[in-house]
Structure 1
Amino acid sequence: MRTMYCSACGAKNEDDATFCDGCGADLRAAPRPTAGSSGPGPLPVFYPPARARAWWYPIGVWLILSSFFLFVDLATTGGITWAYWPIGIIGIFMVGFPLLNLLEARIAGRR
């Protein structure tokens, strides 16, 4: 014969008992556990692995912008001065990185 435990006090009782031997609680009111009645648990949440950011994006933007401003400086003055380099670096931060983030988001959306 199987045993049953009281949900109120935890005392061991026989399976066909109607009241607890320890505290006298009604055992019929307590739900009897059945095998496999809990059903499947919740599905695990799957998060795709984070994609490593391409380190060469900012380097490529920096090279393109610096080449452009160097060419402009050479074409206008005939020599290299450092007057346009701060503009190129600021341009990387203000234009280059947001454009790269937009491009990366579009590419990630297609996959």
Structure 2
Amino acid sequence: MPHYKLTYFNLRGRAEIIRYLFAFSGIKYEDHRIEQADWPKIKPTIPFGKIPILEVDGVTLHQSLAIARYLAKETGLAGQTPLEQALVDAIVDTIDDFMSMFPWGEKNQDVKVM
């Protein structure tokens, strides 16, 4: 079994679908959560300066949907046929569309209220 280390902020956001896949599949992983105050120091050490990242036996994957698709394939949740895989991809992309509707990173409270 590979060693998995997920790195993201100490909140749900873009890493939550990855955590759901781990939980649903019963796979143990290291859930490394960083605080916002530590991000400026950590950011230069992260590929492309974006999180979440998933380390798999020392190999770093980035992009939340790429990580989710990888885990879905590893756990047999990605579908057995091309049509099933397309249906799963559609679900993942719909969740991503839904996530994009929320102003997660918005600093202006007036915008968040809308």
TM-score in same-fold range (> 0.5): no
Say which structure is richer in strand.
2
TM-score w.r.t. structure 1 length? 0.29
Bigger relative CO (Cα 8 Å, ≥ 6 apart): 2
Say which structure is richer in helix.
2
Larger Rg: 1
